[in-house]
Structure 1
């Protein structure tokens, strides 16, 4: 269903679609203020105290900011660059931009200034909003290089008092200017409330840029509203959820699952004080809906394991008794088996003694809906959390689809699939094995990129670039990127990412790159998970002083060897990993090895580690690897590391 600018207006003034949903996010704010004005909409922890805004107060904040942004030159169709961590004022400003027919273009906070220009190519971003002094400095540097942005707004005043730079303005001043305009201009409030249209861009996000310059991905209001509507119809979202806003604002998961769903479904959006306190704040909030990437769930599992190792002997014995049984019970449930009376009673006792306290420790005691997506999740981690009673499920989507395409439903969860298409979404697989999608949540085209758009979109269908297949019951299996289907020297087809995800099922592996294109065997460069392997080493009295030293310990090499040997048991004979090396560091987005969303840039890795890759195939037992290091003062040095190369036994 596509609803265009001529949407009907309700009797109370906000535009609605023919399915009753608000036509835009701005209309949703107006509806929420009109129907549930006193309900808590946003909560943000500041100096240890939770500050609250009702929906009526959110509407007033958004309109005041919109009037202020309008006064300083934010125009319809233009971008407002946004950079910083989650803040209520940043969310209000994003909605205020929407009220003007403009759109926010959020950027990851850790993007260095040298790369920043790639995220300001579209929408004439004359204005930028920075969270704090660190991001303001970055934007000032960028302006000196490129002339943009002309005006820099900032939220956090700390450290900003002494800045004698033109074109810098506190966000509070913009809000005050807007509030004064609303008082002085009687018709302005109604004008601002009605400017946003369903075809307007709600947010401009960017692709990961694994193979080149990131593409601009414009999500329009009708895409966001349609996607959230589909997800609610399938039971994936509920009304009045408690949400936890900790995901990067530049990731589609935050805009859709936090801001979009939060506004459209009248949720309460809880914002941590800062990223360093997020785990503590999560426990205070205890959200009813929680989304995290597989690696974040792995980190949670590691926290539990580390905590249990340091707890009392009684707690360890209870954990060691109940958790294996909980995982076994969950595996049986997923296989369609009914638990007997004794097993159900054991689960009740386990809930009281073990599962409940762990969920409370993690802040997930109220999580009715929990999801993971973005890449495959390890079976061990998936079953652990479901064994605790957290109904964790996989979902599948891309930024181009508002991240809402397919997901698992309770009672039909399989370990190897991502579930079935959401209501209102069509899925098919073409003759080349590529997954194709059609839905109201799918964008029409990339921003100002007709060539890329022509390749990706045809007759309303999106070519996802993912390889996969549909099972007989409609469940979708995702194998990896179509572009990554390669062959060994013997002609066997494989997708490196599919094998890499299987390896990363282990909590001891943070990142891995698999090689073998045109070669007679597969090899791998492994980046250990420093926290998980470090804890494993400490329990065995293995001393180390750094990541590099830990990675080369014989015991750690044997540990990773075992991980790879286990994965090999699931691989055909010709696609088993024969040799590997533990890298002295993790792959780093600042080195260009992975994207900000932690996807491998294979071309960069193959070039940067050519010496190591040659050694993996050359039969050497070790290699001296030289890496160029860039220091903060701009100077460069060379770091030499001796890296061991190990065989993976049959």
Structure 2
């Protein structure tokens, strides 16, 4: 059997036809789809797409939340030798134009009316887009746009075709080869247009299997599919590894029910970017601040125990009898209920990736008994490059190269990777492909780092972002903005940070407060406010954030490498950074350069020694309208600390 996505589907359907493959929550009820049921659905959709005219080698856009029928459509396209291209469901219509035009897309599969409206709005800019297929018919009864058809209708057409030609689908699946293109993922486009990353069945499934072997994943795992399908991390964990291992993927009812669904499913294998773990911890801290003094005291006491004992227990290191006893009591009274409240009671392996996670945040989860580990990879490497082995987990590394991976560090500190999971190319962009792939097969990651004495990879920052302080007392000191940002984001009151300092005499940062956490904090102090902008500029809030900044500075002062990266000045932005305003990517990564240009008067004011600066910003609302937000922002100085000399 050739190892391809549709071939693996048929293999599972033949070996355990009645076992659950996917579950979907609708109207509060979990409904299971068996492997044989999924195979039949994929066959009917594939036959329907064939009748509609989808050709081998064509790209087909998929837009929507995680739904079994959307995953089945991806498999159906792959069964015909076509190439699914998932786009972010929360992207504005204008953001979809480039991928659709770049990939010469004729067919699009979308979830609901919202996505149909989006594509109809941009159709005049996408001349080849002829067929729009929708899953959820609600609200679309009176739509009569040409080429707009329901998935149910397509399935009926496909069912009739399959009945008349019973061997046709299997023959089409057999034509698909491992080296055929399986999917294309568009990068987040932090600079310029996004690039289409081309992957084959072989590259994606090779890395999916390598990751599964590393953590001994089986068909008994339970996974919650809640991240965007367009993100390769979601694709690997809930699609490639789903088919490689045959475990169950669960699709939540909606974005608003994910927390409830997480508790109901109790996943054994979990994956989330740091932002999700930050949000969960913030909610925990908000609840604890509202708890009684006795409960807060118990929580704080046992969390101190957890910080001392938990990470060593997770790594299999010996701890004293008294510490074990205290940890056991804490597990019964605090850690166990907390894991259950988070939905992590059954988690055997949890991963975070996408960007660096703050060490304090990482240690918190491991200290309460959650086997949270870091991995290193990217869209271009099919995710899995380095993973952390159990009992060798450290907050400051991203693990060891796994099977099939070679790593080399260039003279400038850049990490180079050779792997069976590397991209085939950037679509229609040979110049960009040549920039990242060498003739002898090495991929330029653009990340700076090194392999330590134990063989673990340590990432410092992006090569282009790592800089030096120029002038002042810290002249020549190393500056790693992401490291500083993550240290600050550990605090529950801070949601986002943008740090500047390369080529300047000091480090200054923009800060977004966490509106829920700070709002709760303000309400308990009877501090009135009239929305985000008003709350962000309260003197009391500035004092709260200043204390967080100075705690980070104290921590940085003992870091011989980054003591010069302490924050000298900060301001709290008048609005939350937003992907719709171009300030974040769709994977919620900060677009630091764009923000610097957009808020240049604020950057100049911070470095110019001013104590306040007026700013007016155009914002885009969810319904597509635009408006403006203006405020006079305070700029505050923060205390810095003399570097602590290491003992001789």
Secondary structure of the 2:124 match is helix
How far 1:493 moved relative to its partner?
Answer: 4.1
Would you say 1:534 and 2:519 are equivalent positions?
yes
Aligned position for 1:473: 454
Would you say 1:243 and 2:223 are equivalent positions?
yes
Matches within 5 A, 1:509-524: 509-524=494-509
Would you say 1:597 and 2:578 are equivalent positions?
no
Would you say 1:433 and 2:413 are equivalent positions?
yes
CA distance in 2, matches of 1:410, 1:617: 45
1:564 to 517, 536, 549: 549
Aligned position for 1:649: 639
Which sits farther off after the overlay, 257-266 or 494-503? 494-503
Secondary structure of the 1:120 match is helix
Secondary structure of the 1:472 match is coil
CA distance in 2, matches of 1:629, 1:308: 34
Q: State the Cα deviation string for residues 184-227 of structure 1 (Å, max 9, x = none).
A: 11321322331321112222111111111111011211011110
Matches within 5 A, 1:223-302: 223-235=203-215, 237-302=217-282
Which sits farther off after the overlay, 440-449 or 631-640? 631-640
How far 1:536 moved relative to its partner?
Answer: 2.7
8 A contact 2:359–2:487 mirrored in 1: no
CA distance in 1, matches of 2:124, 2:221: 44
2:343 to 356, 363, 367: 363
8 A contact 1:66–1:178 mirrored in 2: yes
Aligned position for 2:614: 624
How far 1:634 moved relative to its partner?
Answer: 7.6
CA distance in 1, matches of 2:453, 2:364: 28
Structure 1 length as normaliser, TM-score?
A: 0.93
Matches within 5 A, 1:373-412: 373-412=353-392
Structure-2 change in CA distance of 1:268 and 1:632 (3 Å):
closer
Which sits farther off after the overlay, 51-60 or 305-314? 305-314
How far 1:511 moved relative to its partner?
Answer: 1.6
Secondary structure of the 1:43 match is strand
Would you say 1:174 and 2:159 are equivalent positions?
no
Structure 2 length as normaliser, TM-score?
A: 0.93
Structure-2 change in CA distance of 1:240 and 1:526 (3 Å):
same
Aligned position for 1:483: 464
8 A contact 2:22–2:250 mirrored in 1: yes
Structure-2 change in CA distance of 1:633 and 1:200 (3 Å):
closer
Aligned position for 1:547: 532
Aligned position for 1:53: 33
Aligned position for 1:339: 319
Aligned position for 1:19: none
CA distance in 2, matches of 1:305, 1:640: 31
8 A contact 1:322–1:350 mirrored in 2: yes
How far 1:380 moved relative to its partner?
Answer: 2.8
Unaligned runs of 5+ in 1: 1-8, 10-14, 16-22
How far 1:104 moved relative to its partner?
Answer: 1.1
8 A contact 1:444–1:460 mirrored in 2: no
CA distance in 2, matches of 1:133, 1:148: 21
How far 1:236 moved relative to its partner?
Answer: 6.0
Secondary structure of the 1:484 match is coil
CA distance in 2, matches of 1:435, 1:415: 19
How far 1:333 moved relative to its partner?
Answer: 4.6
Aligned position for 1:6: none
8 A contact 1:233–1:423 mirrored in 2: no
CA distance in 2, matches of 1:633, 1:192: 43
CA distance in 1, matches of 2:338, 2:516: 20
CA distance in 1, matches of 2:263, 2:316: 33
Structure-2 change in CA distance of 1:634 and 1:573 (3 Å):
closer
Secondary structure of the 1:497 match is helix
CA distance in 2, matches of 1:113, 1:27: 34
Would you say 1:189 and 2:169 are equivalent positions?
yes
8 A contact 1:230–1:423 mirrored in 2: yes
8 A contact 2:478–2:564 mirrored in 1: no
CA distance in 2, matches of 1:561, 1:427: 40
Aligned position for 1:497: 482
CA distance in 2, matches of 1:92, 1:632: 30
8 A contact 2:450–2:457 mirrored in 1: yes
Would you say 1:579 and 2:569 are equivalent positions?
yes
Secondary structure of the 1:327 match is helix
Structure-2 change in CA distance of 1:404 and 1:637 (3 Å):
closer
How far 1:334 moved relative to its partner?
Answer: 7.2
Structure-2 change in CA distance of 1:633 and 1:268 (3 Å):
closer
Secondary structure of the 1:467 match is strand
Aligned residues: 630
